């Protein structure tokens, strides 16, 4: 325990840097969902296009949008993203955090998954 006098120069500035990054994600977002966000976004977009195809007469523009989404998904290795994500989590010894909410992570754990 420190006992004594602390003198701070009047021109001294003190700053604070939080160990926790700002995460603009819903509180229920899991580590797996956070890491796989790009994959999940494209999957959601594709599902939305398929749903729209059921009720539209303008199939050409939707087929074009669908092809772009499928190409984007393929370009990030989307066909086997779940096994790829699990491999990455295993290699980093983070598999135990897969289903943990991002909001429940410590600052150090978050830095590991935020990569």
* Tokens at 55, concatenated: 């009720």
> For residue range 19-62, what is the model confidence (pLDDT) as tens digits?
555 555 566 889 888 888 889 899 999 999 999 999 988 899 99
pTM over 0.75: no
**% of the chain beyond a pLDDT of 90:** 29
Computed from CA positions of residues 89, 95, 98, 103, in that sequence, does the dihedral angle turn out positive or negative? Answer: negative
CA distance 86 to 69: 23
Across all residues in the chain, what is the average pLDDT? Answer: 84
Structure token digits, residue 37: 């966000």
Confidence (pLDDT) at 69: 94
| Three-class HEC string of the chain | CCCCCCCCCCCCCCCCCCCCCCCCCCCCCEHHHHHCHHHHHHHHHHHHHHHHHCCCCCHHHHHHHHHHHHHHHHHCCHHHHHHHHHHHHHHCCCHHHCCCEHHHCCHHHHHHHHC
- pLDDT attached to residue 65: 94
């Amino acid at each position: 325990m420190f006992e004594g006098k602390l003198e701070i120069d009047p021109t001294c500035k003190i700053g604070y840097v939080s160990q926790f990054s700002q995460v603009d994600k819903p509180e229920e977002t899991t580590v797996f969902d956070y890491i796989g966000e790009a994959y999940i976004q494209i999957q959601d977009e594709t599902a939305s296009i398929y749903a729209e195809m059921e009720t539209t007469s303008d199939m050409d523009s939707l087929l074009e949008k669908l092809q772009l989404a499928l190409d984007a998904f393929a370009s990030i290795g989307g066909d086997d993203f779940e096994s790829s994500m699990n491999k990455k989590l295993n290699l980093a010894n983070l598999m135990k955090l897969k289903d943990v909410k991002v909001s429940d992570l410590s600052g150090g754990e978050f830095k590991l998954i935020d990569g």
